[in-house]
Amino acid sequence: MISVLAPWFFISLLPAGALLVWAYRSQGSGKRVTLGSLLLLEQLQEKVTFRQKFLPPIRFFVELVLFILLVMALSGVVLRSNTRTYALIVDNSEGTGHFIREGRTILDELKAHVPTWVTLGIVPGSALTTNYRVVVTSPSIREVTAQPVSGGELKSVLEEISAVAGSDNLQEAIQVAAQFEGVEEILVLSDKNVELKEKHPSIRFESYSPDEREITLDNLAIESSTFRGVEQSLDIALRSFHSQHAEGVISLYQVVLEKSEVVRKPLRRAKFVLEPGERTRVQFENVNRNGAYYAELTTPDTDSLPSDNEIWITTETKERQVFVDSKKPLGELHLVSFPGLTYEIKKSTDTAFSIFYKSDVANIRAGGLYVLPLVRESERKALSVVEAGELVRSKEEHPVLDYVDLATLEFGEVVPLSVPDWAEPLIEVEAGVIAYVGLTSAGPVAVFGFELFPLDGSNTPTQTVLYLNAVKWLFRQLFGGARALIPGQVLREESDVDYRFVSSPKFKAETLMDGALPAHRGLLFKNGNIVEAVHFYSADESGSALNKKVLLTMPFKRAQGVHQAQYSIHFWLWLALLLFALDLFFNALVPRYAVRS
């Protein structure tokens, strides 16, 4: 297939061809004839006449072809195949994980709104077929297709993409896709309009918005909890997002450890009835201090967001020290503060657990139980369970080996870290995440390396969730299991403010939710009123405007490198240069090359 970017240059072939014919005719060997004279004594005027047939030499045709090649280069003649390759950028940032209808996230809606011509692998209005290279934005920009896939194969690729913790990185993703060889257009699938750094007049936006009714869901939620130390009472705030009358039961359990097993012992139950949009508080009396509790909401009615139906509450006031082994000052690490946890950069055998930041060698005590995170990606290989004292480097080295000098360690046992399904992407997505948990004679020990996630609590505090889950695992001896509580603070009797946990350093969290912390519901409540709607992982992912679906079609424009049309220009220019060199060569060595026979 041939396409021309600037066909008007071909008009120049007509005057140029005429000029070339005139030049060769004027240099020809025509017959000289006498035209006549007015004065007998004057010399008769003579002029060359070309009434005979025009027979140009071989060089005439060579130079004509040479000029045609130059015009083709200026016109941008491009030789194309019948297959186009597009780059499809899929925004799978945390914001696209929000549920906008029962069981459907924004990312699901975006996938469903992919135009039919994309999945059919055709270009509208032409006989061309399309292939796709798919790029995801989170937690880091990477291509998920080893080679271009067809429209039919694209469906299965999209099904494997899920929302993970991180920002959308759309600008950077566009720049990455612009470097792909052979890609002519970039499609961006996102829940927001893309503000391009370089505007282009031919950019076409196609907006896909769900119905407004999809934003309003029938849902019952636990908004917050308040423990009052003086009265030893626990208030749990409930709210109805139903469009009609709803009822249910709130159950309170005490979390205890019996024979090394976590047990939820039922304490009390209370029924409630809520009208549309109504709030209520359920109060439980005689709740002990320094305890661990679990509350669960159940309802026979529709509940679109079951993740906010449970809350884990701790009334412990003890502060726990976190030792940070870092070459940077504590203030530069941007560690998110949590109730009950304090950070210090110093070495201490009394610390319950540790964090290290890009240390050359992790300072881990020998012996005990050590836990390594699983890695799913094929390019990396997770360490298997090995015999005590045996841990060898494999050809595909686990990233943890770059941080730990295994020769100095004596492992009692190596086991994979077990986490809830919802937390797996946070721990297993990329290389560089290290989580060590150890039980020693001095107490439990945990070591973390947050190489994957930037230590910037105000923008991308994803490491916070990893941190919380590892601490839950660590303190299973105290509160039991991978879903154990994080030590938190209680409200003092003079305070009338209660907060629900939000992973953001500018808000103080008085109560923490459990392992099912919904990444799709980042709402902060104060005295029963919504203060601000935020996502858990990124400030620029925050906001309640979740109804914008945008498919951006951006004409290919490389940030660096050469466009396909430029490749064709170079091809015609080099071909013309080669022909010109041959023209000079034959003109110098072949006498009859430039002379008519």
Q: What is the pLDDT of residue 185?
A: 76
| Extended beta strands in 430-515, E state | 433-440, 443-450
> Which residue is associated with the tokens 């498919």?
551
Which tops the pLDDT comparison, 60 or 3?
60
The Cα 77–Cα 565 span in angstroms is: 7
Comparing 184-193, 221-230, 553-562, which segment has the lowest mean pLDDT?
553-562
Strands 279-284 and 233-240: antiparallel
DSSP letter at 57 equals -
Contact assessment for residue 516 and residue 422, using Cβ atoms and an 8 Å cutoff: yes
pLDDT confidence of 251, banded at 50, 70, 90?
very high
- The pLDDT of residue 54: 65
pLDDT band at 222, cuts 50/70/90?
confident
CA angle 428, 475, 416 (to 5 degrees): 30
Asked whether residue 597 carries a pLDDT value surpassing 80, the answer given is no
**Both tokens of residue 243?**
């469009």
**Cβ contact 349:442 at 8 Å:** yes
Both tokens assigned to 330: 């504590």
What b-and-e string marks burial along 428-455, b requiring 16 or more CB atoms within 10 Å of the CB? bbbbebbbbbbbeeeebbbbbbbbbbeb
pLDDT above 80: residue 431: no
Q: Are 525 and 500 in contact (CB under 8 A)?
A: yes
Check residue 8 and give its pLDDT. Answer: 66
pLDDT at 587: 76
What's the whole-number mean pLDDT along residues 361-371?
A: 33
pLDDT over 60 at 29, yes or no: no
Beta-carbon count within 10 A of 115 CB: 13
Burial of residue 102 (number of CB atoms within 10 Å: 0-12, 13-18, 19+): middle
Residue 12's pLDDT band (cuts 50, 70, 90): confident
pLDDT of residue 427 exceeding 90, the answer is no
Label residue 249 by pLDDT band (50, 70, 90). very high
Give the CA-trace dihedral at 434, 438, 444, 448, to 10 degrees. -10
Sequence ranges of the domains in the chain: 1-214+546-597, 220-314, 320-487
The 10 Å Cβ neighbour count of residue 515 is 20
- What local confidence, expressed as pLDDT, does residue 267 receive? 92
Residue range 220-314 forms a domain whose CATH class is: mainly beta
**How far is it, in rounded angstroms, from Cα 372 to Cα 517?**
23
Query: What whole-number distance in Å separates Cα of residue 189 and Cα of residue 396?
Result: 34
pLDDT value at position 109? 78
pLDDT at residue 420, as a whole number? 39
- What pLDDT, on a 0 to 100 scale, did the predictor assign at position 513? 27
Reported as a single tens digit per residue, the pLDDT across 15-26 is: 877 777 777 777
In sign, the C-alpha dihedral spanning 176, 380, 466, 528 is positive
pLDDT the model gives residue 495: 36
Provide the pLDDT for residue 252.
92
The H or E element containing residue 68 is: helix 58-75
In angstroms, the Cα distances linking 499 to 235, 508, 529 are 12, 8, 10
pLDDT, averaged across the chain: 56
What is the SS3 assignment for 399? helix
pLDDT at 507 (0 to 100): 26
pLDDT(592) > 60: yes
> For the segment 125-135, what is each residue's pLDDT rounded down to a tens digit?
555 677 888 88
Q: Quick one: angle between helices 58-75 and 564-589, nearest 10?
A: 160
CB 293 within 8 A of CB 315: yes
Report d(CA 349, CA 363) in Å as an integer.
Answer: 11
Q: Which two tokens stand for residue 160?
A: 């494997």
pLDDT band (50, 70, 90) for residue 571: confident
Cα 113 to Cα 153, 161, 392, 542, distances in angstroms: 17, 15, 48, 23
Contacts of 587 (CB under 8 A, 6+ apart): 59, 593, 594
Q: In what order do the strands lie in the sheet with 261-274?
A: 261-274, 246-258, 292-298, 310-314
Is residue 173 pLDDT above 50, yes or no? yes
The pLDDT confidence band at residue 269, using thresholds 50, 70 and 90, is: very high
What sign for the dihedral angle of Cα 131, 137, 138, 140? positive
Q: Residue 477: which residues within 8 A CB-CB, separation 6 or more?
A: 257, 444
Is pTM beyond 0.75? Reply is no
Radius of gyration of the chain (CA): 36
Residue 72 has pLDDT above 60, yes or no: yes
